[in-house]
Structure 1
Amino acid sequence: MTRTILITGASSGLGAEMARQFATLGYDLALCARRTEKLDAVRSDILAAHPDRRVEIRALDVNDDDQVFEVFRAFRADFGHIDRIVINAGIGKGAPLGTGNFKANRETAMTNFVAALAQCEAAMEIFRAQNAGHLVMVSSMSAMRGLPKTMTTYGATKAAVAHLAEGLRAEMYGKPIKVTVLYPGYIASEMNDGVAAAGNKMMVSTEKGVRAMVSAIEKEKESACVPPLPWAPLSVVMKYAPMPLFKRLI
């Protein structure tokens, strides 16, 4: 039976490239995002390369709780079974706390955590009914340790979603529902355009970075820093470096 994967935030960046790579691996695709014109373009690209694939798309604003449940349930009705759900949608706004930009920080907190919670609820509703499935949470290397300035709220949300997924993994241990948390480093995407423009030498292409993500997902790893180099060893440094050293690194 053909496997089916649902990806949120699939209109561009990591989500769109994941869709392309999973199509190459033989998956049928349930893709959702706010920008349906970009979703249409992703679907057209995939079907041009893989005309035997099935690609269903739906508009989804992940901050609309009711719509999250409606879209996830509709995709399950479309395909009859969803094997894997990737919670990928997110934003990267932020400002130093106490500088008058609470609105940006709140928007990031609501989109990256509360909306991710709704997506987890909708995904687990499907997986519990099926008694099978694989939940993938896209966190970030910024979850490894509290970060300063514009990254403070963003990093906190990514730590929160990682713990949300890890709690589910503990609950589902020994059952046929698997949970993976991905911690991407600098991978070229719309969200990282500013980092790329600054010439960060650790930035990798979207294709290379997503290939590492897809590999970890296919292996159903519990957690993975992606790409593994340099991010797996750097994760240890980020977690345990004394503050004077940590401040110099960031």
Structure 2
Amino acid sequence: MTRQRILITGASSGLGEEMARRFAAAGRDLALCARRVDRLDALRAELVAENPSISVAVRALDVTEHESVVRVFGELRDELGGLDRVIVNAGLGKGAKIGTGKARANLATAQTNFVGALSQCEAALEIFRDGNSGHLVLVSSISADRGLPGPKAAYSASKAALASLGESLTIELARTPIRVTTLLPGFVETDMSARSGDASRLTASLDSGVSAMVDAIEKEKIRVALPGPTWKVIDTALRFLPNSVTARFL
């Protein structure tokens, strides 16, 4: 099945922006959301110039405002004549050691990465249930596998919650026409990963990272760590090895 009409949140930069380019090149119609609407307008102009046969709709959106998420998803559905796939990609990588007086960064990360993602799932699945079809994609993280210490604690917890939500929805919707994919990217070269100080020797290029993500999305895999076999091994190690072992390299 070709999912023609695709909504991507967090599309103004990084993984979301590059996924938009890939799907546009494949002839898909796009609904793009982010807080920075000026970046979205520039991206829309680029995509339509390079792929004149597609439609690209954009909206400013703060995913932490639930009513706005429901309204914007509905508007974009109406503008494109429906939605076939929603990619829940918007996220934050802020963080500080818990209890050091910098709670605001951790709370913002948790609010965006999980509560905001839950709002997107609510809005998307209401549309999909109404049409009895659709593909929900959750962009979690390899850090969902094991709680990370220090400034990444809130981030890994939020991504673990998102991955758990993906598992719950996969089970619930298994006997329906609605599909759910949970992606667990490792280190991929983006502005956010650079700010977070991810290990450079394990960092994949944006091109290879997004190529793996788009491939998994198009195949509608249920759960996949990526890109490449290295992150599949790390995924297995983090999930199944005891803390006494994983603590040495976290």
Asked if 1:60 corresponds to 2:52, the answer is: no
- Alpha-carbon distance in structure 2 between the residues aligned to 1:222 and 1:174: 14
Amino acid at match of 1:241: L
Query: What percentage of residue pairs aligned between the two structures are identical?
Result: 49
Query: 1:137 matched to which residue of 2?
Result: 138
Which residue matches 2:238? Answer: 238
* Unpaired stretches in structure 1, ≥5 consecutive residues: none
Tell me the TM-score normalised to structure 1 length: 0.96
Gaps of 5+ in 2: none
Decide whether the 8 Å contact of 1:2 with 1:28 is kept in 2: no
Change (3 A) 1:166 1:2: closer
1:48, CA displacement in angstroms? 2.1
Structure 2 residue 210 is matched with structure 1 residue 210: yes
- Residues 1:227 and 2:227 aligned together: yes
Query: Residue in 2 aligned with 1:26?
Result: 27
Deviation of 1:193 (Å): 1.5
Contact 1:2–1:26 (Cα < 8 Å) also in 2:
no
Alignment partners' CA distance in 1, 2:104 and 2:238: 28
Give 2:238's aligned amino acid: M
RMSD: 1.4
Distance in 2, Cα, partners of 1:18 & 1:133? 18
Alignment of 1:26-105 (within 5 A): 26-105=27-106
| Structure 1 residue 202, shift from structure 2 partner | 1.1
CA–CA separation in structure 1 for the residues paired with 2:10 and 2:55: 18
Say whether the 8 Å CA contact 2:3–2:85 is kept in structure 1: no
Aligned pairs (5 A) from 1:74-223: 74-194=75-195, 200-223=200-223
**One-letter code aligned to 2:221:** K
Deviation at 1:102, TM superposition (A): 1.4
Deviation for aligned residue 1:86: 0.2
Shift of 1:2: 7.5
- What's the CA shift for 1:241? 2.5
Mean Cα displacement is larger for which, 82-91 or 186-195? 186-195
TM-score (norm 2): 0.96
Matched residue of 1:248: which SS?
Answer: coil
Question: Post-superposition, which runs of at least 4 consecutive aligned residues in structure 1 deviate over 3 A?
Answer: none
